[in-house]
Amino acid sequence: MTTKSIPLTDELHAYLVAHGAPPDEIIRDLAEETRSVLPEHATMQVAPEQAAFLTFLTRLLDTRQAVEVGTFTGLSSLAIARGLPEGGQLTCFDISEEFTGIARRYWARAGVQDRIDLRIGPAGDRLRELPHERYLDFAFIDADKTGYPVYWAELVPRMRPGGVIAVDNVLRGGRVIAPQNEADRAIAAFNDEVLADVRVDPVMLPVADGLTLARVR
Ligand SMILES: C[S@@+](CC[C@H](N)C(=O)[O-])C[C@H]1O[C@@H](n2cnc3c(N)ncnc32)[C@H](O)[C@@H]1O
């Protein structure tokens, strides 16, 4: 028995991915294309076990309306879209036509393009265009780290009671306890803000680079 999460070697990580929900051919091709076309940015993609978890969570919450902030080449959005029922909708936000051009091709190949509404532009501005109602079942934040407080402020009031916001990179490779740059400091401050927010019940999980799940009251 251990009182904390065990470290993952490469071999153990491969085992964990293989025994959870192993990536299918579409996800494997998307990861491979991202690595070969955008080698400097490829680590921005969510980990395979996170992708599987996003699909699981989307289904668990019976999600009909979801939002993603930070789409890149589309792995997390594909995972969320796959968890939606017929008629469900995912609204995605990103600033890059180049990155999301790749995403669009893989959404089409997976047959989920009709469930995804991609909006290009700074998410802080574009999120304000969403209905001012508590209608979202699930939201995933994974864009520029200094923008997290703005995305949080726009999303929390739009979540239905019991809806969940998932936030990626909350451990910043471990640097969150000794921040070394602006993004690290932003996440350290953001994590404190989430903890103090009486509108949500959060948990922080050591999945990949750290994943916070916040259930909105
Ligand atoms: C970590 S990546 C997202 C990875 C994605 N979730 C995946 O699984 O592939 C961050 C993304 O945020 C986008 N981004 C950066 N600043 C943004 C902003 N102000 N508004 C919207 N998107 C932004 C970047 O273009 C990039 O695609």
70 lines ligand 1 (CB under 6 A): yes
**Residue 55 CA to ligand 1 centre (angstroms):** 19
CATH architecture assigned to 10-216: 3-Layer(aba) Sandwich (3.40)
Residues facing residue 211 across a β-bridge: 168, 205
How remote is the CA of residue 151 from the centroid of ligand 1, in Å? 12
pLDDT in tens, 111-151: 999 999 999 999 999 999 999 999 999 999 999 999 999 99
Ligand 1 centre to CA of 118 (Å) is: 12
Residue 116 β-bridge partners: 90
pLDDT at 2: 80
Does residue 154 line the site of ligand 1, with CB under 6 A? no
Residue ranges per structural domain of the chain: 10-216
Distance CA 208, CA 168 (A): 9
To test the pocket of ligand 1, the residue of 44, 68, 90, 126 to mutate (highest count of ligand atoms within 8 Å of its CB) is: 44
| Closest atom of ligand 1 to CA, residue 100 | 27
- 76 close to ligand 1 (CB < 6 Angstrom): yes
* Residues 45, 72 contacting (CB under 8 angstroms): yes
**CA–centroid distance for 33 within its chain:** 20
> What sign for the dihedral angle of Cα 156, 148, 205, 42?
positive
Q: What's the chain's average pLDDT?
A: 97
Q: How much is the pLDDT for 1?
A: 67
Q: Is residue 185 helix, strand or coil? A: helix
Count CB-CB contacts under 10 A for residue 49: 18
Nearest CA to ligand 1 atom 21: 94
Question: Is the shortest distance between the CB of 150 and ligand 1 below 6 Å?
Answer: no
Report pLDDT digits (tens) over 102-118. 999 999 999 999 999 99
At 172, the pLDDT band (50, 70, 90 cuts) reads very high
Give distance in angstroms: CA of 100 to centre of ligand 1. 9
Distance (Å) from CA 44 to ligand 1 centroid: 8
How many whole angstroms separate alpha carbon 164 and alpha carbon 156? 9
